[in-house]
């Protein structure tokens, strides 16, 4: 092949690759995923800190091992070229169509966050999902025709499928079938950054995978026999040994035990930090809420924390603790926790229980709701159910409707009827941030003991402790020391007792 022919072939192939990338980027027939913001309103403000992790997530990925005549061009592959084309399918009972549509649009947002192109979405009304193929044999044939017409390579069911349902549906539609739980676990595995987060996600994935392993018959078995078979038992011991699927299950169980031990080992460090805050009587506020409600953006707006912000579901998984102060100088902490979603896989709730303990150990729960979402009541109920599971139902709760700049006046009236004492804020425009700070200051627990002491000047550490963890009422400097009146904790009151007036 001549050099001119090589160059012509290179240009044609490159044009075809770029055209395919552009087509896949545009191909979303199903419609807007309502769990995600519009790109024009998802801009990040200067409060959102360093967004370098976003650049890494969307960067070009080098694919190793490609050795073609175009190796200088095609070794660099744009991420969109590997996106899966998916069709969504759901089942809903009579009277639940609106809720089912919201759930399917949320599944579309989950699929897009996981890196897929949603081509279409279909729902079937029936009292209960079909125990064999989830949607019934006839509808499965219709789904097969839809998959063939759209060119999809994956079907995602809006529920957690039983292993038999997934296999039966795959046999009909002839493409890969996964469920909602698989998509959420995939997103978590992409976004986990800390060692503990990665271990928690891996444990949840293995708990999900274990009952779904597929065997391939006796041909994969390990034959036992002879003097070495079955521990050297000789005659009468020959026959099929441990099969491949049994071996895989044993390895998974061993790995799960190792991961559980690792997660337990992370606990003492977190407990030590929490105990230090308790010893110094530093109150804590846990920011919790639905995924993509704007928890990290709100944390950045309140504390300039610089936490990663992205218009995606489950963008941040690791708990982030930031220190801040009230208007009168009292120190407290904000904790940004993992977000929730309807039908959150129970494997994730169990695996992330150690992280969710931060909510149960806090003094106040700051419950963030996306005010622009079509179903804010559903978000509220979903999050409160999980909060109840971790034993934090009785904690003081401040409800915050975020993204107030996207809420119409009529919708505000509806939301106020839903939660009369809620606060409307916008992390993007800054609306309502100061009022929210004042509400948090008012809700924080007040120090229990009132003291009046004359603190010598050589014990300035006690005065500093009053400023940091107590509530100073008055302070006057005299010849012998500082005359202070304050509300302090019992521990600090004991230290001030020798100087009491």
From CA 252, how far away is CA 263, in angstroms rounded? 16
Determine contact, residues 85/153, Cβ cutoff 8 Å: yes
3-state helix, strand, coil in the chain (%, to 5): 50, 20, 35
CA separation (Å) from 93 to 15, 107, 108, 377? 48, 18, 20, 20
Question: Of the spans 10-19, 259-268, 463-472, which averages the highest pLDDT?
Answer: 259-268
Question: Of the spans 324-333, 419-428, 442-451, which averages the highest pLDDT?
Answer: 419-428
Least confident of 3-12, 337-346, 416-425: 3-12
Would the pLDDT of 318 be above 90?
no
Please state the rounded mean pLDDT for residues 401-408: 88
Would the pLDDT of 87 be above 90?
yes
Q: How confident is the model at residue 23 (pLDDT cuts 50, 70, 90)?
A: very low
* Sign of the torsion angle spanned by Cα atoms 319, 322, 327, 331: positive
Question: Of the spans 154-168, 209-223, 303-317, which averages the highest pLDDT?
Answer: 154-168
* Of residues 245, 222, 226, the one with CA closest to residue 234: 226
Would the pLDDT of 59 be above 70?
no
Please state the rounded mean pLDDT for residues 178-205: 85
> From edge to edge, which strands make up the β-sheet containing 116-125?
116-125, 84-92, 154-157, 176-179
pLDDT at 308: 62
The neighbour count for residue 214, using CB atoms within 10 Å, is 8
CB neighbour list of residue 144: distance below 8 Å, 6 or more residues apart: 172, 173, 174
Tens digits of residue pLDDT in 232-250: 555 555 556 666 777 888 8
From CA 351, how far away is CA 356, in angstroms rounded? 10
Please state the rounded mean pLDDT for residues 151-162: 91
Question: b/e string for 18-44 if b means 16 or more Cβ within 10 A?
Answer: eeebeebeebbebeebbbbbeeeebeb
pLDDT at 169: 92
For the chain, how far is it from start to end, CA to CA, in angstroms? 100
pLDDT at 399: 92
CA-CA-CA-CA dihedral for 245, 247, 249, 253, to nearest 10: 180
158 or 356, higher pLDDT: 158
Least confident of 55-64, 120-129, 317-326: 55-64
Phi, psi angle pair for 85, to nearest 5°: -95, 120
- What proportion of the chain, given as a percentage, has pLDDT over 90? 12
Please state the rounded mean pLDDT for residues 258-275: 80
Determine contact, residues 327/437, Cβ cutoff 8 Å: yes
- What proportion of the chain, given as a percentage, has pLDDT over 70? 72
pLDDT at 344: 76
256 or 352, higher pLDDT: 256
Please state the rounded mean pLDDT for residues 468-497: 80
304 or 24, higher pLDDT: 304
Tens digits of residue pLDDT in 107-139: 998 888 888 889 989 988 898 999 999 998 889
* Of residues 280, 370, 263, the one with CA closest to residue 323: 280
Would the pLDDT of 20 be above 60?
no
Would the pLDDT of 28 be above 70?
no
* Of residues 199, 444, 411, 418, the one with CA closest to residue 331: 444
Q: How confident is the model at residue 33 (pLDDT cuts 50, 70, 90)?
A: low
Please state the rounded mean pLDDT for residues 442-447: 80
**How is residue 42 annotated by DSSP?**
-
Would the pLDDT of 406 be above 50?
yes
Look over the chain and give the mean of its residue pLDDT values, rounded to a whole number. 76
Q: How confident is the model at residue 79 (pLDDT cuts 50, 70, 90)?
A: very low
Please state the rounded mean pLDDT for residues 26-47: 54
CA separation (Å) from 392 to 57, 272, 374, 439? 34, 21, 27, 20
The neighbour count for residue 295, using CB atoms within 10 Å, is 29
């Amino acid at each position: 092949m001549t050099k001119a022919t090589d160059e012509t072939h290179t240009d044609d192939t490159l044009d075809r690759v770029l055209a395919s990338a552009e087509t896949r980027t545009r191909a979303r027939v199903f419609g807007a995923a309502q769990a995600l913001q519009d790109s024009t309103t998802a801009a990040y403000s200067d409060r959102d800190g360093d967004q370098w992790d976003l650049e890494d997530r969307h960067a070009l990925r080098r694919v190793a091992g490609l050795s073609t005549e175009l190796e200088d061009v095609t070794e660099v592959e744009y991420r969109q070229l590997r996106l899966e084309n998916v069709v969504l399918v759901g089942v809903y009972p009579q009277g639940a169509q609106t809720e089912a549509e919201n759930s399917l649009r949320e599944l579309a947002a989950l699929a897009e966050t996981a890196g897929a192109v949603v081509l279409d979405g279909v729902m079937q009304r029936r009292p209960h999902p079909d125990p064999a193929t989830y949607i019934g044999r006839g509808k499965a044939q219709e789904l097969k025709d839809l998959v063939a017409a759209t060119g999809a390579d994956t079907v995602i069911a809006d529920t957690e499928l039983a292993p038999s349902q997934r296999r039966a549906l795959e046999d009909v539609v002839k493409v890969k079938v996964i469920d909602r739980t698989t998509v959420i676990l995939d997103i978590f595995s992409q976004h986990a950054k800390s060692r503990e987060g990665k271990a928690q996600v891996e444990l949840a994935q293995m708990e999900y995978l274990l009952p779904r392993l597929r065997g391939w018959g006796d041909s994969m078995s390990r034959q036992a026999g002879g003097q070495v078979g079955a521990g050297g038992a000789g005659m009468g011991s020959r026959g099929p040994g441990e099969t491949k699927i049994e071996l895989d299950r044993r390895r998974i169980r061993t790995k799960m035990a190792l991961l559980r031990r690792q997660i337990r080992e992370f606990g003492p460090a977190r407990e030590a930090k929490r105990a230090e805050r308790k010893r110094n009587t530093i109150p804590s506020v846990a920011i919790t809420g639905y995924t993509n409600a704007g928890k990290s953006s709100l944390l950045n707006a309140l504390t300039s924390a610089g936490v990663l912000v992205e218009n995606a579901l489950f963008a941040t998984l690791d708990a982030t603790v930031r220190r801040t102060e009230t208007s009168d100088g009292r120190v407290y902490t904000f904790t940004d926790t993992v977000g929730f979603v309807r039908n959150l896989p129970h494997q994730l709730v169990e695996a992330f229980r150690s992280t969710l303990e931060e909510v149960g150990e806090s003094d106040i729960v700051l419950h963030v709701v996306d005010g622009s979402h079509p179903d804010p009541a559903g978000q509220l109920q979903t999050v409160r159910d999980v909060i109840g599971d971790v034993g934090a139902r009785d904690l003081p709760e401040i409800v915050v409707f975020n993204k107030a700049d996207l809420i119409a006046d009529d919708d505000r009236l509806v939301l106020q009827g839903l939660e009369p004492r809620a606060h409307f804020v916008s992390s993007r425009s800054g609306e309502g941030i100061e009022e929210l700070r004042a509400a948090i200051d008012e809700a924080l627990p007040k120090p229990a003991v009132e003291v009046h002491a004359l603190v010598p000047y050589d014990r300035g550490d006690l005065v500093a402790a009053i400023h940091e963890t107590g509530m100073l009422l008055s302070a006057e400097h005299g010849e012998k020391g500082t005359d202070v009146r304050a509300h302090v904790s019992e521990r600090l009151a004991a230290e001030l007792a020798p100087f009491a007036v």
